[in-house]
A and B are shown apart, each in its own frame.
Chain A
Amino acid sequence: QSVLTQPPSVSGAPGQRVTISCTGSSSNIGAGYDVHWYQQLPGTAPKLLIYGNTNRPSGVPDRFSGSKSGTSASLAITGLQAEDEADYYCQSYDSSLSGRVFGGGTKLTVL
């Protein structure tokens, strides 16, 4: 049972827009801690996709965007491409646990 809750799977056709939610609580996202998103392609290490709720590292396409409100955050992917098929994880800090916490991950399937 992950501290941050994500849907197990989402899907979309090429060119479409999908969103992935990340729901936390008053001890993590709701306490004001930043949310970060990672993309993990099959058989590879996670890659930082969004940091500080809304910021993209250099090299990440602007098709990826993040938002945060209250105790939740979301990752949006527009103009879906086949290479976006991957697992996506949200991550934050939890003050009750005094440590970093991850969501359970969401598998994105491009139809």
Chain B
Amino acid sequence: EVQLVESGGGLVQPGGSLRLSCAASGFTVSSYEMHWVRQVTGKGLEWVSAIGTAGDTFYPGSVKGRFTISRENARNSLYLQMSSLRAEDTAVYYCAREAAPGTSAFDIWGQGTMVTVSS
């Protein structure tokens, strides 16, 4: 079964760091462009980062310089290293697979992991 399972969320103080993990099964992470998308409770979706099959990375301005996306082929996993966290980073974080190169559609999503930034 094709599946993504996130972990690593939790409570962190403003200015702190957290690393999210996303374990994939049923497909090879390195063969797809992979993404992180977040959602503030009761609000809409926001794209957070992407890593291409060649290892190139992409970020929106809201997290650039603070968040780092990476993957580990041996573990078939995706990661999001978050630093200098702010209250506005509080959200459910989803990892997602891009359906096919260049499509930009996310066909597989994890169940999400909650990140709370608060003192």
Contacts and interface: CB of A to CB of B under 8 A. Distances in A.
B104 A89 contact: no
Given A46-B94, A57-B107, A89 B44 contact: yes
B105 A34 contact: yes
B107 A51 contact: yes
Interface string A88-109: 0101110001111111110000
A51 B105 contact: yes
Instruction: Give the contact-size bracket for chain B.
Output: 20 to 34
A96 to B, nearest CB: 11
Interface string B24-59: 000000000001010000011111001000000011
A98 B58 contact: yes
A60 to B, nearest CB: 11
A97 B48 CA distance: 12
Nearest to B104: A93
Contacts of B99: 48, 51
A103 to B, nearest CB: 7
19 contacts: A38-B106, A45-B94, A45-B111, A46-B109, A48-B106, A48-B107, A51-B99, A51-B103, A51-B105, A89-B44, A89-B45, A91-B45, A98-B58, A99-B50, A99-B58, A100-B35, A101-B47, A102-B44, A103-B44
